[in-house]
Amino acid sequence: MSLTSLPLLKSQLNLDHDLDDALLQHKLDAAELWIENYIGSPFVADNPALTEAALQLASYWYEVREAGQDTTIRAVPFGARELLNSYKDQVTGHVPE
């Protein structure tokens, strides 16, 4: 179960129905796990930057559900990666490209 709230993600996506709640929860869980692996430390719910990155990732993955489309697809939105890069540097000593 994710630390980021489902209602916050639904607000980010401007959704007012419950039809996709299970899918949205799955996207949040995956986003937080991806963040933990990327920065090399546990996801902290009271960190606004990490929460914003989780919302951006989950929103993007919800809206772009296919691995291949006619448009250019990024696995991670640039804004989310930029939010996380400073945490990665602090934790791992790795300097992002």
| pLDDT at 84 (0 to 100) | 87
- Residue 74 clears pLDDT 70, i.e. is over it: no
| pLDDT at 71 (0 to 100) | 52
- E strand or H helix at 86, and its extent? helix 78-92
pTM of the model: 0.79
The tokens for 28 are 């949040």
CATH assignment, 6-92 = 1.10.3230
**How distant, in Å, are the alpha carbons of 7, 67, 87, 88 from that of 37?**
24, 21, 12, 10
Asked if residue 44 lies in contact with residue 50, where contact means CB atoms within 8 angstroms, the answer is yes
Query: Which residue reads 């000593």 in tokens?
Result: 93
